[in-house]
């Protein structure tokens, strides 16, 4: 039986582009991080409710329930409000970053396209800050 210490870090990535989910999965799997992808906001919220992850990666521009809608629902629930969220989006204007980091208080904001190292550093930093015990 694996010890509790060996538990893999779990991440839910909510992104409507399957190729982006595949790319991020490849990058993070190499670091022993388990990725569960959701191709829309509703599916992402369902995955998170079933098995809350250590971290949520979230695209903003999605059809239907967009990333901000998902984010606000997560933060409104006592079960999910403490899970850190990293935004990964094509919305790269400085005002978008300010809205995300300063107003909405997301844990990190990554603009597409990004370097794999940028993603890894953000994920590792956010996870280390949010480690319990």
17 or 96, higher pLDDT? 17
Return the pLDDT at 6: 57
Q: Is residue 26 over pLDDT 60?
A: yes
Contact 12, 58 (CB under 8 A): no
Write down the pTM of the prediction: 0.90
Mean pLDDT computed over 61-90 = 94
Q: List, in order, residues 6 or more apart from 63 with CB less than 8 Å away.
A: 16, 40
Two tokens, residue 28? 């993070």
- Nearest partner of 56 among 118, 99, 107, 104, judged by Cα: 107
List the alpha helices (DSSP H) in the chain.
18-29, 41-50, 67-76, 94-98, 116-129
What's the mean pLDDT in 103-132?
A: 90
Domains of the chain (ranges; CATH) run: 7-128 (3.40.50.2300)
């Amino acid at each position: 039986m694996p010890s509790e210490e060996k538990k893999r870090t779990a991440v839910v990535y909510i992104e409507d582009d399957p190729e982006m989910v595949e790319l991020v999965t490849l990058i993070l799997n190499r670091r022993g991080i388990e990725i569960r992808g959701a191709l829309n906001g509703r599916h992402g919220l369902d995955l998170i409710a079933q098995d809350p992850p250590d971290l949520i990666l979230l695209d903003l521009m999605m059809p239907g329930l967009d990333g901000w809608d998902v984010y606000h629902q997560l933060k409104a629930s006592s079960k999910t409000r403490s899970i850190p969220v990293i935004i990964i989006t094509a919305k790269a204007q400085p005002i978008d970053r300010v809205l995300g980091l300063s107003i909405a208080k997301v844990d990190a904001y990554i603009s597409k396209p990004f370097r794999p190292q940028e993603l890894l550093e953000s994920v590792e930093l956010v996870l280390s800050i949010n480690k319990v015990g």
